[in-house]
Amino acid sequence: MDVGGTSVRAGVVDPRGAVLDTTRAPTPSGGAPLEDAIACAVEELSARHKISAVGLAVAGFVTEDRMSVRFAPHLAWRDSPVAKAMRQRLGLPVVLEHDANAAALAEHRFGAARGAKVAVMVALGTGIGGALLVDGEVFRGAYGVAPELGHLRVVPNGRPCPCGKKGCWERYCSGTALSATAVELMAKHPGASTVLAREAAGDPQRVTGRKVSGAARDGDPIAQRALAELAKWLGEGLALVADVYDPEVVVIGGGVSESAPLFLDDAREHYAAVVTGSGFRPLARIRTAQLGDDAGIVGAATLAREMITKR
């Protein structure tokens, strides 16, 4: 399961990484309703398939033993023993993983990062999830929360972030950021937008990242400028990531990656221009996730399968 700030997605995954069946529901507010949603999804899929274990890819800090959620900016869990609670409720083994770690593992086993010695995953969704793999193993840091790339501060005193800081990378480069940028541009340039103005119909809350991408494809100038801003900030952040980790491959995943043809080439160019030592060092290959939006689900299921295999 991929438990994100917007939706709870579940899938049945076979040993080859193929997703056989899926279900989705909006992410509810509150810890108990969220656990209800997870249980409902597992029960629905269990009616059609034999389920052996459950892996939860979570948009938040997971403890070293992958049993509890310390903190999740877009979810209700705080120091919550989620794996134990769900194991008791479902009667199945349950393991947690940071959603970007799960997606990175899936891409290393089955997709765009296969065989890479050092690989970074940047998952663009409601926020930004980050993961680092060295020789195919997840780097978790001393306390299980590394690397939290989405909360690198790129703009001092910038846009407020649910994590409590201001100016985090994900406030300028994510699905949420894309809609925020479009709304700001519409306010500054009234009358410049056509497609987005119709979509908003006077209500900025209706301007989602997905709608901005669709409007850009239809030639809306405000939407195109918003995507250009996202591309700039993606390139800027990737340069920071490369300066620290020097990866062989960077995989761009998450829901926003579905619109990669609209922004990724510009992001690559900006990254290559601003990375330290530009022109005198090998550049990371920047690729879109081959498993798409299913990467978190596939990675979580793979970890769950390995957990019961090792027992």
pLDDT in tens, 120-148: 999 898 889 899 999 988 998 888 778 98
- The pLDDT of residue 83: 95
- The pLDDT of residue 230: 98
pLDDT band at 184 (very low <50, low <70, confident <90, very high): very high
- DSSP annotation string for 71-124: E-TTSS-EEE-HHHHHHHHHSS-EEEEEHHHHHHHHHHHHSTTTT-SEEEEEEE
Q: Do the beta carbons of residue 108 and residue 136 sit within 8 Å?
A: yes
Q: Please state the pTM of the whole predicted model.
A: 0.83
List, for residues 146-167, the tens digit of each pLDDT value. Answer: 898 999 999 999 999 988 999 9
Per-residue pLDDT, averaged over 190-215, amounts to 86
Instruction: Reply yes or no on whether the pLDDT at 309 is more than 80.
Output: yes
CA atoms within a 13 Å half-sphere pointing along the CA-CB vector of 40: 14
The residue among 149, 168, 156, 157 whose CA lies nearest residue 239 is 149
Instruction: Reply yes or no on whether the pLDDT at 190 is more than 90.
Output: no
Q: How deeply is 236 buried, as exposed, middle or buried, from its count of CB atoms within 10 A (0-12, 13-18, 19+)?
A: buried
**Distances 284 to 112, 116, 251 between C-alpha atoms, Å:** 13, 11, 10
Under DSSP, the state recorded for 139 is -
- The pLDDT of residue 191: 82
Instruction: Reply yes or no on whether the pLDDT at 201 is more than 80.
Output: no
**Distances 90 to 3, 31, 212 between C-alpha atoms, Å:** 17, 16, 39
Instruction: Reply yes or no on whether the pLDDT at 71 is more than 80.
Output: yes
- DSSP annotation string for 4-19: -SSEEEEEEE-TTS-E
Neighbour count for residue 162 (Cβ, 10 Å): 17
- The pLDDT of residue 210: 92
The residue among 73, 38, 71 whose CA lies nearest residue 56 is 38
The residue among 231, 233, 236 whose CA lies nearest residue 273 is 236
List, for residues 42-52, the tens digit of each pLDDT value. Answer: 999 999 999 99
Instruction: Reply yes or no on whether the pLDDT at 195 is more than 90.
Output: no
- The pLDDT of residue 84: 95
Q: Which amino acid is at 224?
A: Q
Q: Is 66 left (phi over 0), alpha (psi -120 to 50) or beta?
A: left
Mean pLDDT computed over every residue of the chain: 92
Q: What is the spatial distance between Cα 170 and Cα 151, in angstroms, rounded to a whole number?
A: 7
Per-residue pLDDT, averaged over 215-222, amounts to 94
List, for residues 3-51, the tens digit of each pLDDT value. Answer: 988 889 999 999 999 999 999 999 998 889 999 999 999 999 999 999 9
- The pLDDT of residue 34: 95
Relative orientation angle of helices 221-245 and 264-274, to the nearest 10 degrees = 40
- The pLDDT of residue 121: 95
Q: Do the beta carbons of residue 249 and residue 285 sit within 8 Å?
A: yes
- The pLDDT of residue 37: 96
- The pLDDT of residue 200: 80
Phi, psi angles (nearest 5°) of residue 100: -70, -35
Q: What is the spatial distance between Cα 237 and Cα 206, in angstroms, rounded to a whole number?
A: 28
Q: What is the spatial distance between Cα 151 and Cα 61, in angstroms, rounded to a whole number?
A: 12
Which alpha helices (H) appear in the chain, and where do they start and end?
Answer: 31-46, 82-90, 99-110, 175-188, 195-200, 209-217, 221-245, 264-274, 295-309
Q: Is the dihedral of CA 225, 226, 230, 233 positive or negative?
A: positive
- The pLDDT of residue 12: 97
